[in-house]
């Protein structure tokens, strides 16, 4: 199969063609030629789209589907199609299924179920058995079967000693430990950011302190043990500062931020829309600006959609009892494109997460494997239900103005384009 991308603007700082507009010829999954004008032949699949841009394939480090156990939310087969049409060539799959992904058989099930799909999946194994936070899982066995990291999705490790032992043990096989930044005792029954809006709306608050005190603890443990720690989806000003100080000390720590925490604030809650109930919660404008600045300074390493499909029975209920979570794959690029420059977006979706999670990154140059996200950064539109491909429809960005269009991907020798 031969694919020809016509007049594609290349966004790839590691490529000699960065910021240049070129034709790209791909044969059997390999970039065979990049030139100003490549003549099409009869058997070529030609992609000639308006304002065509390409970058190395995007990698989302926090994606939940439903299978096994919650297929009504999203199946694996459909989920990877959603990811592909949203521009993602690689996704890390969270272990929050039923049963929890906490052993090698569960890892192998996920990998085998969608083997050969255009979007590659990379399972995250649970850090503790059944994600209960009591006993450590079979991390080494899971890594041997394909797990790229270990963490209990959206569940903090409350046992200090367990996290200490996990950080020590994982060093034996260069494992990456994830620790969700929330102290449940301080967060209590909170459902929204503690502040002016939660008070006005009568909602129980989650103080920023609940996140920051957990991050402080994690960093103290990391300094003691060594090893590699990733803190997913930070959301406060102080959290950014804590990560900055830890990096200046030389600790091997990285962190991510969810797209919605970069775009929206707790002002959105005046309407008690359950799709806007997320974990960590939407914070203040000051926090939002600090997160964007943290990205630009390289303190925050990567961005995730934190895609988490929830069925209507658990979302179309009172705000305080609704499940946390929003889908985010379809809206990720369009939302980010309203607040960040293109190079920052691409860097935080490609090289940074791939280095940390040890996922191969192919540059856009001749004789390299083709793993490409294909998009147009221009064009404003209102995100609506018609833009949702996911089985579940719980999007935090419904009726929001977004910028840019994803055309699709080329990955694993397959071209996937939105119709």
Enumerate the active-site residues: 306
Q: Which of 88, 80, 67 is nearest to 305 (CA)?
A: 88
Bridge partners of 198, per DSSP, are none
Residue 71 contacts residue 63 (beta carbons within 8 Å):
no
Q: Six-digit token pair at 366? A: 């001749």
333 CB-contact burial (10 Å; exposed 0-12 / middle 13-18 / buried 19+): buried
Q: Six-digit token pair at 369? A: 């494997």
Neighbours of 15 (CB within 10 A): 19
Q: Reduce the DSSP state of residue 3 to 3 states and report it.
A: strand
Q: Reduce the DSSP state of residue 56 to 3 states and report it.
A: strand
Cα 416 from Cα 418, distance rounded (Å): 7
For residue 89, report the phi and psi dihedrals to the nearest 5 degrees: -90, -20
Half-sphere exposure of 400 (CA within 13 A, CB side): 22
352 CB-contact burial (10 Å; exposed 0-12 / middle 13-18 / buried 19+): buried
**Beta strand pairing call for 253-258 and 58-63:** unpaired
What single-letter DSSP state applies at residue 389? Answer: -
């Amino acid at each position: 199969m031969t694919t020809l991308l016509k007049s594609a603007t290349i966004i790839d700082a590691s490529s000699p063609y960065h910021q240049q507009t070129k034709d790209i010829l791909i044969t059997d999954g390999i970039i065979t030629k990049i030139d100003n004008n490549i003549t099409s032949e009869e058997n070529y699949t030609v992609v000639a789209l308006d304002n065509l841009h390409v970058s190395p394939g995007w990698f989302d480090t926090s994606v939940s589907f439903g299978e096994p156990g919650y297929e009504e939310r999203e199946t694996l087969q459909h989920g990877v199609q959603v990811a592909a049409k949203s521009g993602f060539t690689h996704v890390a799959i969270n272990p929050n299924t039923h049963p929890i992904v906490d052993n090698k058989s569960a890892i192998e099930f996920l990998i085998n179920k969608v083997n050969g799909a255009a979007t590659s999946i990379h399972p995250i194994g649970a850090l503790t058995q059944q994600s209960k936070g009591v006993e450590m899982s079979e991390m080494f066995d899971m890594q041997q079967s394909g797990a790229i990291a270990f963490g209990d999705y959206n569940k903090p490790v409350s046992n200090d000693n367990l996290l200490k032992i996990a950080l020590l043990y994982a060093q034996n096989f260069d494992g990456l430990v994830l620790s969700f930044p929330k102290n449940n005792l301080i967060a209590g029954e909170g459902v929204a950011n503690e502040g002016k809006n939660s008070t006005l709306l009568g909602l129980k608050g989650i103080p920023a302190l609940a996140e920051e005190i957990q991050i402080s603890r994690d960093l103290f443990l990391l300094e003691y043990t060594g090893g590699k720690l990733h803190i997913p989806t930070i959301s406060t000003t102080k959290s950014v500062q804590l990560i900055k100080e830890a990096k200046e000390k030389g600790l091997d720590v990285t962190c991510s931020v969810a797209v919605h925490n970069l775009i929206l604030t707790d002002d959105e809650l005046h309407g008690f829309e359950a799709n806007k109930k997320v974990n960590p919660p939407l914070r203040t404008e000051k926090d939002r600006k600090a997160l964007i600045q943290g990205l630009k300074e390289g303190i925050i390493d990567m961005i995730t959609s934190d895609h988490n499909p929830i069925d209507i029975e658990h979302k179309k209920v009172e705000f305080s009892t609704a499940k946390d979570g929003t889908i985010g794959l379809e809206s990720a690029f369009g939302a980010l494109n309203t607040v960040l420059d293109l190079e920052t977006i691409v860097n935080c979706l490609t090289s940074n997460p791939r280095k940390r999670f040890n996922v191969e990154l192919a540059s856009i140059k001749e004789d390299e494997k083709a793993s490409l996200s294909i998009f147009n950064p221009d064009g404003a539109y209102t995100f609506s239900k018609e833009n949702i491909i996911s089985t579940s429809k719980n999007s935090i960005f419904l009726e929001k103005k977004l910028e840019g269009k994803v055309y699709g991907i080329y990955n694993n020798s397959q071209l996937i384009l939105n119709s």
